[in-house]
Amino acid sequence: MVGFWADKKVVVTGGAGFLGSFVVEKLKARGCANIFVPRSKDYDLVDMGAVRRLYADTTPDIVIHLAAVVGGIGANKANPGKFYYDNLMMGTQMIEVGRQVGLGKFVAIGTICAYPKLTPVPFKEKDLWNGYPEETNAPYGLAKKMLLVQSQAYRAQYGFNSIYLLPVNLYGPGDNFDVESSHVIPALIRKCIEAKESGAGSITVWGTGRPTREFLYVEDAAEGILLAAEKYNKPEPVNLGSSCEISIDNLVELIAAKTCFKGEIIWDSAKPDGQPRRLLDTSKAELEFGFKAATGLREGLDATIAWFKEEGR
């Protein structure tokens, strides 16, 4: 599908971020010569005026909307109002102005946090509305979920081609390694490496270790997004994942081994676990646009740890 991008003008919101940088590189590799990455200092997408100016300045054919205010359980608990409002307004306004100016295609990126807390495993797209999300990240999850509602409503009323993708938790080189706001993999990598270097005898990890998670390597996620942009034009949401489930305690053991940290793991069970299990049914992505994750968790962790040691500090 290299020719698909040759004459396209593409706006990638969040294109300077973790996932966005991989999407931009893959777009370039596919022959896309006209890519615009708005920066928040120039275009505050929470402000409607800035969104209108972005569309006027760039006249895109496709928008890939990756920009988000996001973090781990702690950041979600500390900022529920901001996470709700900023994510809702950015996405809603980007879709609305895109509709007004006749945008060719909008690619909306949702979140695994949109699923109900007790979704049957593996999560199927049809189960998305069968309950309320896990409480600690519900405001963020619901704000992103509204982009699916808007995408489907605009397709039905206006014929607006907006698709909605649901990636599972991402990780990889370039991730956010701030212990206060990062997700579980980068936080654990940093804790283990710094504890080993300082000679600390233990690290403390939130929760009980019993919940399970599925992780998708960032480069695979970028590939899935671009395959969907090229080939998928339907209203139904689509999961993007690796179809590999691991418990948090096993993940901690794996990262400790890979970083050569041999100290004690202390579980702070007073802290929340989050959703009990996460594992996606990814068959629709493979059926609809040929996406299947290529990077195993061990391989992806090796690359992520190596990046953090070389460039992450």
**Rounded CA separation 190/202 (Å):** 13
SS3 of 306, please?
helix
| Dist. CA 67–CA 87, nearest whole Å | 8
Cα dihedral value 185, 190, 193, 194, nearest 10: -160
Helix (H, G, I), strand (E, B) or coil at 87: helix
**100: Cα separation from own chain's centroid:** 27
**Tokens coding 168:** 């599972």
Q: Which helix (H) or strand (E) holds 52?
A: helix 48-58
Q: Which of 55, 84, 115, 140 is catalytic?
A: 140
Q: By CB neighbour count within 10 A (0-12 exposed, 13-18 middle, 19+ buried), where does 265 fall? A: middle
Asked whether the beta carbons of 169 and 211 are under 8 A apart, the reply is no
140 as an active site residue: the answer is yes
Tokens of 298: 């061990």
For residues 303 and 258, the answer to whether their CB atoms sit within 8 Å is no
Active site residues: 140
